[in-house]
Each structure stands twice: as C-alpha cells, then as structure tokens.
C-alpha cells in the first residue's frame, strides 16, 4: 500500500476572514498561522504549501494582555553599526497597527522560502473593510 502525497496543484485554496476586534494577539496569530500552513487539512504535509488565504480585519483593535502594550519592544537592524531601531508596541499600534499581527504570524511560520510563500497569502487590514469580497471569504472564529 502506497502513502498518498497530495500535490500543491490539486489543492483548492479557500479564503478565510478573521475579525481581530477585541481578540488576543497570540490567539489570532496562531489561528492564522495554522490556516496559512494548511494544518487544518487532513492531507497536511510539512514540505508543501497547502494552506489557505487569510484576511485579518480590525487589526487596530487587537488586544495585548498584561503590560505588553508598554513593555513589548519590536526590534529591527539596518545592518550598519548603530543601526538597531527599537519601538514599543503602543507606538507600532499608532503608526502601523497591521504590523502587530504581521510580525506575530511571521514568527509562527517556517523560516524558509516555503514560509515566505505562506506569508504572502496573509492580508491584514486595520479597519473592518477589505478589498477581497470577490473571493467570497468565509468567517473563521478564533477559539
């Protein structure tokens, strides 16, 4: 008996909408990462991109627990000496509220070209409107 291995060309990708209004950041991010990787499918294999597209709306109103709003620091480096830039979560929320979710989901995906392909299927919007209504996305409830 041979093991069934799905093909990336035969998979039908669906679109899901996650409403982040009042939801905890980590729970929204882990649900999105699971959908992007395809771990919710019965045919999941770790070496193929079988995941779905994910739209996250109301990113500006996502909830951070504890003191993370003032204590969590996002760091990036330009590659030059003294090029470290640090920004607190409350400042990131004011300037680019989508980045809170994008960074959290990015950290939960594989660190490879396969993870890059999964990340490209993530769409995050600060408000409730999104331009993907033609794809007929279904609502996904975060537990």
- Parse the chain into domains and list their residue ranges: 15-138
Q: What DSSP string describes 107-134?
A: HHS-SSHHHHHHHTTEEE-SSS--S-GG
Q: What's the residue count for the chain? A: 143
Inter-residue contact 36 to 54 (CB < 8 Å):
yes
Arch. (CATH architecture) of 15-138: Alpha-Beta Complex (3.90)
Q: What is the pLDDT of residue 35?
A: 98
Burial 99-134 (b: 16+ CB within 10 A, else e): bbbbbbbbebbbeeeebeebeebbbbbbeeeeeeee
Please state whether the predicted TM-score (pTM) of the whole model is above 0.75. Answer: yes
Confidence at residue 7, expressed as pLDDT on a 0 to 100 scale:
87
Please tell me the predicted confidence (pLDDT) of residue 68: 97
Q: What are the residues facing 84 on neighbouring strands?
A: 77
Q: Check residue 1 and give its pLDDT.
A: 83
What letter would DSSP give residue 12? P
Residues facing 123 on adjacent strands: 55
Asked if residue 124 lies in contact with residue 101, where contact means CB atoms within 8 angstroms, the answer is yes
pLDDT, position 143: 82
**Phi, psi of 123, rounded to the nearest 5 degrees:** -125, 125
Query: What string of pLDDT tens digits covers the 143 residues of the chain?
Result: 898 888 888 889 999 999 999 999 999 999 999 999 999 999 999 999 999 999 999 999 999 999 999 999 999 999 999 999 999 999 999 999 999 999 999 999 999 999 999 999 999 999 999 999 999 999 999 98
Q: What's the confidence (pLDDT) of residue 21?
A: 97
State the angle between helix axes of 25-37 and 98-108 in degrees (0 to 180), rounded to the nearest 10: 50
Contact between 100 and 74 (Cβ < 8 Å): no
Q: What is the pLDDT of residue 61?
A: 97
């Amino acid at each position: 008996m041979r093991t069934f291995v799905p093909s990336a060309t035969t998979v039908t990708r669906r679109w899901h909408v996650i409403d982040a209004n009042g939801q905890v950041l980590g729970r929204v991010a882990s649900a999105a990462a699971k959908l992007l990787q395809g771990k919710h499918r019965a045919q999941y294999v770790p070496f193929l991109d079988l995941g779905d597209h994910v739209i996250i709306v109301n990113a500006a109103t996502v909830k951070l627990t504890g003191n993370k709003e003032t204590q969590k620091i996002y760091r990036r480096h330009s590659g030059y000496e003294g090029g470290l830039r640090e920004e607190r979560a409350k400042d990131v929320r004011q300037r680019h509220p989508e980045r809170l979710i994008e960074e959290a989901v990015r950290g939960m995906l594989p660190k490879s070209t396969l993870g890059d392909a999964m990340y490209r299927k993530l769409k995050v919007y600060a408000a409730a409107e999104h331009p993907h209504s033609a794809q007929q996305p279904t609502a996904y409830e975060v537990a």
